[in-house]
Structure 1
Amino acid sequence: MEFEWNAIAKEIALEVEKAVIPLFGTAKAGEVVGENASGDTTDYVDKVSEDIVLSRLEPLGVNIVSEEAGVIDNGSDYTVVIDPIDGSYNFTAGIPVFAFSFAVFKGKRPVYGAIYEFLPKNFYEAVPGEGAFLNGRRIHVRKPERGKEALSFYTRGRCTGIIKKVKRVRVLGAIAVELSYLAKGALDGVFDIRNYVRPTDIAAGVLIAREAGAIVTDERGRELEVKLSATEKTNLIAVDDEYLLKMILEELENGS
């Protein structure tokens, strides 16, 4: 069976939006209600949003990979990797940087990715070989201006020398959003070297960034493969050109 993934993603995102936006910035949103597949705590808003997504996807009979429920194997050719609210800490704190992340794989091959940034109502999507789009308009990474690059950079003390070589370093707290910003030319790079991000965080963003012209690798500069796992953690480097990738890899090698 084939699916209209674009329509499915939009419908689910809007349903999640309707349910969760009234909780934005409230204490209720951050109440701990359980534990997810990785052993981390589950906040109320995560549970509410994921229940909506699961209720919409389960009738389709597809496999599901989600942060809270883990891997649901229904024996389908298709696997949907979801994070209903990437940036849930921002959400509960009242910081308006968070998004719905939705990626589809056929076997191990990505076939569709979508990210919906709730408050600006920005809908990013990509299909392999067809490009990346924001609200239906094609987007592409920008050509960086040397010495004026802006990076989103997550570390636990490694590679800090890069700070002196770029103009700005930001940490927005929602990597799906940040990969989307790279794709549309608002950032030059996004990298997380804490061995922290999971496929649910990055599956859609990696596809969208790549289709917009970004280079996405692991910390050794090898092409990053997104695994269909709810628990596996990885490092990620996503940049708009080879020069910046080389600069980051050299800083990592130097141990700065």
Structure 2
Amino acid sequence: MADQLFKKRMNGFAGKGELTAFNLAMVAEALETVRQLSEKNIGWEEVEKRIGEYKSWDPDILKVDKDTENGYRRRLEEWNRPVVLLSEEAGRVEINKDSNGEPVYVVCDPFDGSYLFKHGIPDFWYSSLAFYDKNFAPLCCCVGDCVSRKIAYANNGGAFIVDLNEDGTPGKEVRLDKKYREQMGRPDVTEMDGASIESYAMKPKKFLIPLVDRYRDLLVPFKFFLPNGGPYGFVDVAEGKIDVYFAMKQPFVDVFSGIYIAQQAGVVVTDFKGNAVQCSDNVKTVHDVVASTNPVLHEKVLKRIADCENK
């Protein structure tokens, strides 16, 4: 039944290109996995601990994390293409390395929002997966919202967001760009005192306190602050719901499983110095990235970042 439904989803997304359809079908399946676990009130059980320095501040691996990741791995194994999977729980895994064809990199954040899931708070639950070629040029990327059952995605044709039908097949879709943001009543905001900013702050010791200590002067002028982050932070800016996503020391998978959507939606994305952000074969790195809806606001944010860092 699951395989038949997966094929149905693949067929539904077929017009978007073979790889994009595969990406979308996998993320739609992950969203269904999360929904089923939540409805059964399971998935919150701790099944493993992260070992070593990487994410030592967040060591618990829940069943929902493993089940979504294992679902992705299964589909990649069935794909029969050489893949290097860079994923939050598994780390770096080579899949189908003896198969024919050019290898691709897959960056995966199987489930983002584990603490909220464990405590029954149905918000900020995401699952994301992105494909890169052997030189780390982005091919396609999907970030799924497990609660609203929407998937934002990007490929060489642009960035989009699609509603899922009950069975995970595609429903209504819109293109994410400046025109969309304006149509939704979210025009460019060029001054910080009228803008909103998002940065992950739900873990006080690791993120909230360091964020305020170092970047207080950046945050103070903004009109609104959203304490979320991860791959969907890039989608929030792509949609124009948030004007700036300030990703401070975010894990590799949180960045590179979602960044392509912002890049293809016509927003500005750089590191804190204004440089381009490049993916690489190092899943245990952390990155400072900032995305803004427009270049005028972005330059002001970069200047304020520099002022904070030079104090």
1:143 aligns with 2:143: no
Do 2:34 and 2:146's aligned partners in 1 also have CA atoms closer than 8 Å? no
How far is 1:152 from its partner? 0.1
Within-5 A mapping of 1:149-188:
149-154=195-200, 156=210, 157-172=213-228, 174-188=229-243
How far is 1:162 from its partner? 2.2
Do 2:31 and 2:144's aligned partners in 1 also have CA atoms closer than 8 Å? no
Within-5 A mapping of 1:1-256:
4-24=18-38, 28-36=42-50, 38=54, 40-60=59-79, 61=81, 62-74=83-95, 75=97, 76-93=102-119, 94-107=121-134, 108-128=136-156, 130-135=157-162, 136-141=173-178, 142-144=187-189, 146=191, 147-154=193-200, 156=210, 157-172=213-228, 174-193=229-248, 195=249, 197-255=250-308
Select between 207-216 and 228-237 the one with higher mean Cα deviation.
Answer: 228-237
Give the distance between the partners of 1:67 and 1:90, measured in 2 at CA: 17
Do 2:107 and 2:253's aligned partners in 1 also have CA atoms closer than 8 Å? yes
How far is 1:192 from its partner? 2.0
Give the distance between the partners of 1:252 and 1:181, measured in 2 at CA: 21
Select between 213-222 and 242-251 the one with higher mean Cα deviation.
Answer: 242-251
| Structure 1 unaligned regions, length at least 5 | none
Map Cα deviations across residues 42-81 of structure 1 (whole Å, 9 max, x no partner): 1221011111111111222322111111111244521111
How far is 1:27 from its partner? 7.5
Amino acid at match of 2:189: P
How far is 1:145 from its partner? 5.2
Give the distance between the partners of 1:110 and 1:160, measured in 2 at CA: 34
How far is 1:82 from its partner? 1.0
Amino acid at match of 2:177: H
Give the distance between the partners of 1:100 and 1:106, measured in 2 at CA: 21
Instruction: Give the structure-2-normalised TM-score.
Output: 0.73
Give the distance between the partners of 1:160 and 1:237, measured in 2 at CA: 16
Do 2:31 and 2:145's aligned partners in 1 also have CA atoms closer than 8 Å? no
Counting aligned pairs with the same residue, the percent is 23
SS in 2 for 1:247: helix
Give the distance between the partners of 2:237 and 2:38, measured in 1 at CA: 25
How far is 1:109 from its partner? 0.8
SS in 2 for 1:9: helix
Q: Which has the larger radius of gyration?
A: 2
| Structure 2 unaligned regions, length at least 5 | 1-16, 163-172, 179-186, 201-206
Instruction: Give the structure-1-normalised TM-score.
Output: 0.88
Quick one: higher RCO (CA 8 Å, sep 6+), 1 or 2?
Answer: 1
Select between 203-212 and 236-245 the one with higher mean Cα deviation.
Answer: 236-245
Give the distance between the partners of 1:235 and 1:95, measured in 2 at CA: 28
Do 1:159 and 1:248's aligned partners in 2 also have CA atoms closer than 8 Å? no
Give the distance between the partners of 1:90 and 1:5, measured in 2 at CA: 31
How far is 1:126 from its partner? 0.8
Map Cα deviations across residues 1-54 of structure 1 (whole Å, 9 max, x no partner): xx8222222322232223222433987533321134735331221011111111
